Structure 1
């Protein structure tokens, strides 16, 4: 059976590192992106150079109509999806709850909670034996913020990742009998441009003294955990969390 993998938010950071690693392990890969077509095509080209079949598809994965279009493209170009990495997410500038608008909160929950749930819904419609599938593997990219709460920075982001953790646990139990595994990776302070969204692109370097291992992580270290959970090497793991946070 062909291994067909969708990585949401796959054009940069952890998503891109995951695509490059998966390319060496026999996956046919769809790199989803929101707006940076050039970056997505660059990663797609690198994936192809590693010998994997790959496509890049623009879609806002917090919008179900666009998710439907995304999955239809995968069906047509790669085949029935067997693996999913829910990596796309957003964060906003650091502040206390009193300064957070309704718009910010709704956007956070749509992007970080509703979006992964909708993508998973459409993956299950292809993976589950109930719908003609043969099983599959899903990895949600959460955050150590779900355990720490991110006080004074972005409790909304932490809460959204806490919801993603709960979703991971519940869904893992719901579909375990259908040959579908659902796990999560919780990165800590990782050197990616994601932190620029919080208003501080140098945040990881500043916080390194507070990390027990004394350094920030890199995207490739998180990708190793994601790809392991996707693989048959993790065949008895479901509802499982791997923290990649340097001891945080």
Structure 2
């Protein structure tokens, strides 16, 4: 299958890129800065999602079968920040985590409707969508809750056309972003909240994404898969 994967430079994205390619899929990966192997697109620019889509479409010979929205940021903001700083932080987080994903989903749906076989969307959200996050990360939790709601809406709205949508909700994952957060909050306290006793490895999330992108049965469209060591169960 031909797959567009955002946020592929590190962590979950890099593991997913490797897993998908090892499974025989053709994957165009994305990062903000780009590289010899990744297409550059800065999602703070509203035009970037369309530019990325068109580039990926050209590289994949005019057909994309699966969109994986993994790109995201996790920056903190204090509730007593000045208004300008507060609004700027919310704008960046919602713009990158949710709006860019929505733009790509819209482009994917339009493309999938042109073919006879539909397509799949896999959105990487977070357990924060359901259990919330720290007092410094309201905007992150809100962006991920929005992504879950968007995924369910797509699943309900387009299943009859063969367009399937899924979301993945990881907890802490052993990436550079999580390591910084763990050290700031105290690793022992975080681990005590995870019955499994450890945070997830990027390869574990990547395998869930691979399954949803290629093997999950059509009847599971709209599903949200939790991968958090039972730190939050629904």
**TM-score, normalized by length of structure 1?**
0.84
- SS of corresponding position for 1:190: coil
List gaps (5 residues or longer) in structure 2: none
Name the structure 2 match of 1:155.
138
Map 1:76-115 → 2, pairs under 5 A: 76-79=58-61, 80-93=63-76, 95-99=77-81, 101-115=86-100
Alignment check: 8 A CA contact 1:7 1:19 kept: yes
Alignment check: 8 A CA contact 1:193 1:201 kept: no
Report the Cα distance in structure 1 between the residues aligned to 2:116 and 2:103, rounded to whole angstroms: 18
Report the Cα distance in structure 2 between the residues aligned to 1:114 and 1:66, rounded to whole angstroms: 11
- The partner residue of 1:232 within 215, 220, 225 is 215
Residue 64 of structure 1, CA deviation? 4.0
1:120 aligns with 2:105: yes
- The partner residue of 1:15 within 13, 16, 21 is 13
1:74 aligns with 2:56: yes
- SS of corresponding position for 2:47: helix
Alignment check: 8 A CA contact 2:28 2:59 kept: no
Report the Cα distance in structure 2 between the residues aligned to 1:122 and 1:148, rounded to whole angstroms: 30
- SS of corresponding position for 1:84: strand
Name the structure 2 match of 1:25.
23
Report the Cα distance in structure 2 between the residues aligned to 1:97 and 1:112, rounded to whole angstroms: 20
Name the structure 2 match of 1:210.
193
Residue 67 of structure 1, CA deviation? 2.0
Greater mean alpha carbon deviation, residues 56-65 or residues 107-116? 56-65
Name the structure 2 match of 1:52.
none
Residue 36 of structure 1, CA deviation? 5.5
RMSD: 1.9
Name the structure 1 match of 2:39.
57
Q: Residue deviations 1:178-201, cap 9 Å, x none?
A: 1011000000011101236xx636
**TM-score, normalized by length of structure 2?**
0.89
* Displaced runs of 4 or more, over 6 A: none
1:200 aligns with 2:181: yes
Alignment check: 8 A CA contact 1:142 1:186 kept: yes
Report the Cα distance in structure 1 between the residues aligned to 2:149 and 2:121, rounded to whole angstroms: 14
- The partner residue of 2:173 within 190, 214, 235 is 190
Alignment check: 8 A CA contact 1:176 1:238 kept: yes
Name the structure 2 match of 1:53.
none
Q: Residue deviations 1:158-189, cap 9 Å, x none?
A: 11101111111111111101101100000001
How many pairs are equivalent?
A: 225
